[in-house]
Chains A and B, each alone.
Chain A
Amino acid sequence: MKKIWLYLLFTFGVSSFAQQSDFDSTSFTKADRIAKTYKSKGLIEVNKLTFQLTKDLTTDVEKFRAIYIWIAHNISNNHRMYLKNNRKKKRFKNDSVRLDEWNSKFKKDLFKKLLRNKTTICTGYALLLKEMCAVVGIEAHIVQGFGRTAVIDLSSLDFPNHTWNIVKLNNKWYLCDATWSSGFSNTETNEFKFKYNDGYFLTEPELFAKTHFPLQKELTLLPKNSMSYVEFSEAPLLYEDAYNMLDKHLLPLKMHNEIKKNEIVQFQYELKKKTDIKKVNLVLSSGSNEKYEKPNVSLEDNVLSLFYQFKRTGFYDVHLYFDKNLIATYTFRVSK
């Protein structure tokens, strides 16, 4: 096992800019079409399914694409199982024997459900992806660690809460998160809705690291020692749309900021897609008050810069929107 990580570490040096745009010349049209039209009732025959999905594709990246798209469009997130697992993990937190027992029992249940009903939680997605990759000879690994969303309070997390993958394509390692690509659960009704998000497919490592912190630090695919857990937990909060729209988040560096009245704050992003800069907004929320603000916006090549002057003291949640898409949240304490 140790050897694998050593080996991985060794290969990271050359992979610092691994992202989807490496494959800009590859068209995923065919892979996507195959994956979106191929239906399978259960998952009892994973290898047959994988062969069917990939048999007409030639390159590894296309095969991987077909597998990824199929998983993200066919495997649902099971909110009930997620809650149950969390409850038990909390309860057995200090009882390693019972925790192991629970993990073992839950795992069996989880895979049965995945194979029969195509529903799971993230570890199931990641394991299935790894398994399907293995069938066609693509090397993929599971990464365990911390995932961050608006509803997850990192300071109260007792254990890692998320699983994703790294995959080797053309001798380079890439990041992806099939769970977060698949869609959303309604937390009240436990119902799942598929809504594919391409932003978590071979994501730029720096952007990925804003919401994913691996237990094995090397697996950020960032240059060595470039991020600590503290930096991760203090980073700006990005939403799923950020992964569709941005290549990089540049400024501000932290989520929580303290500034003086009348200070001008700069926000900066590297864009993935063309964005109408007239529709770039900041929403300042102070408790029950909410205000739309037009910052000064400029676009140079694909770098978007926003300047905004805070003219009043107070404590604000500042949300960045591109049109109706929520991109990021910061807080600003503005003092005299």
Chain B
Amino acid sequence: MKTTTLSVLFLFLFISISSFAQDIQVKGKVSSKIENKKEALFGANIYLKGTSLGTSSDRKGEFTFPRKLKTGDILVVSYLGFIKKQITISTKSTYLDVVLKEDETNIMGALPSKKRYKSKRSKQ
């Protein structure tokens, strides 16, 4: 019984919030965390999921999203070699402190080659 009342209350709260939903100006900072060392990420991708709206972080890792957002919008924050994060926008999302974690990709590279194969032969 209690839970139903509570959820109804939440539902009302939610409806009232969304009906008063204002456009939210989102700013933030993107940084990386490697072995507990935090560092700003320059050139991280920040875009609104499912649209072609986006921006990138500056040298300090900071960004201002070019358009005002609504609650429920999903921002994707990504950077090469890091696990991307999806952030659902709420009224509290005026300043996002986004910390990305490294993914486990190992770096490697086999070069394309034009050289022809030659068998190793013992001198006769």
Q: Contact residues of A with B, CB < 8 Å? A: 42-48, 51, 55, 77, 79, 81-82, 85, 89, 103-104, 106-108, 110-111, 114-115, 121-124, 127-128, 131, 134-135, 137, 142, 144, 146-152, 159-163, 179-180, 182-185, 187, 197, 237, 239-240, 285, 287, 315, 317, 319, 326, 329, 331
Q: Establish whether residues A161 and B110, one from each chain, have CB atoms under 8 Å apart when the complex forms.
A: yes
Instruction: List residues of chain A with CB within 8 A of the CB of B113.
Output: 149-152, 184
Does B52 touch A at the CB level, under 8 Å? yes
> Inter-chain contact count A-B, CB under 8 Å?
154
Q: Establish whether residues B80 and A147, one from each chain, have CB atoms under 8 Å apart when the complex forms.
A: no
Output the least CB separation between A2 and chain B (Å).
13
Does B114 touch A at the CB level, under 8 Å? yes
Output the least CB separation between A101 and chain B (Å).
8
Q: Count chain B residues whose beta carbon lies closer than 8 angstroms to a beta carbon of A.
A: 36
Output the least CB separation between B61 and chain A (Å).
13
Bound complex: CA of A122 vs CA of B109, how far in Å?
Answer: 5
Binary flags per residue of B95-124, CB closer than 8 Å to A gives 1, else 0? 000000010011111111111111101000
Q: Establish whether residues B106 and A160, one from each chain, have CB atoms under 8 Å apart when the complex forms.
A: yes
Instruction: List residues of chain B with CB within 8 A of the CB of A123.
Output: 105-109
Q: Establish whether residues A134 and B110, one from each chain, have CB atoms under 8 Å apart when the complex forms.
A: no
Does B72 touch A at the CB level, under 8 Å? no
Chain A: interface secondary structure? mixed
Bound complex: CA of A110 vs CA of B106, how far in Å?
Answer: 12
Instruction: List residues of chain B with CB within 8 A of the CB of A124.
Output: 80, 107, 109
- Of all chain B residues, which has the CB nearest A116? B43
Given A131-B45, A134-B78, do A122 and B108 touch, yes or no (CB 8 Å)?
yes
Q: Establish whether residues A128 and B80, one from each chain, have CB atoms under 8 Å apart when the complex forms.
A: yes
What are 21 A-B pairs with beta-carbon distances under 8 A?
Answer: A43-B43, A44-B56, A51-B54, A81-B109, A85-B107, A103-B106, A122-B109, A123-B105, A127-B81, A131-B78, A144-B108, A147-B110, A149-B110, A149-B115, A163-B105, A179-B112, A184-B111, A237-B117, A239-B114, A240-B112, A285-B118
Does B34 touch A at the CB level, under 8 Å? yes
Q: Establish whether residues A131 and B121, one from each chain, have CB atoms under 8 Å apart when the complex forms.
A: no
Q: Which of A107, A147, A162 has the most CB of B within 10 A?
A: A107
Name B80's contact: one of A131, A137, A160, A319 (CB within 8 Å): A131
Bound complex: CA of A111 vs CA of B107, how far in Å?
Answer: 11
Q: Establish whether residues B109 and A161, one from each chain, have CB atoms under 8 Å apart when the complex forms.
A: yes
Q: Establish whether residues A121 and B54, one from each chain, have CB atoms under 8 Å apart when the complex forms.
A: no
Bound complex: CA of A230 vs CA of B119, how far in Å?
Answer: 19
Q: Establish whether residues A150 and B115, one from each chain, have CB atoms under 8 Å apart when the complex forms.
A: yes
- Of all chain A residues, which has the CB nearest B34? A104
- Of all chain B residues, which has the CB nearest A183? B112
List of 6 A-B pairs having minimum Cβ-Cβ separation, nearest first: A121-B109, A147-B110, A47-B54, A162-B110, A149-B113, A51-B52
Output the least CB separation between B69 and chain A (Å).
16
> Contacts A47-B52, A104-B102 given; 13 further ones with Cβ under 8 A?
A43-B43, A45-B55, A45-B56, A47-B45, A108-B34, A111-B80, A124-B109, A148-B110, A150-B116, A161-B110, A179-B111, A240-B114, A287-B121
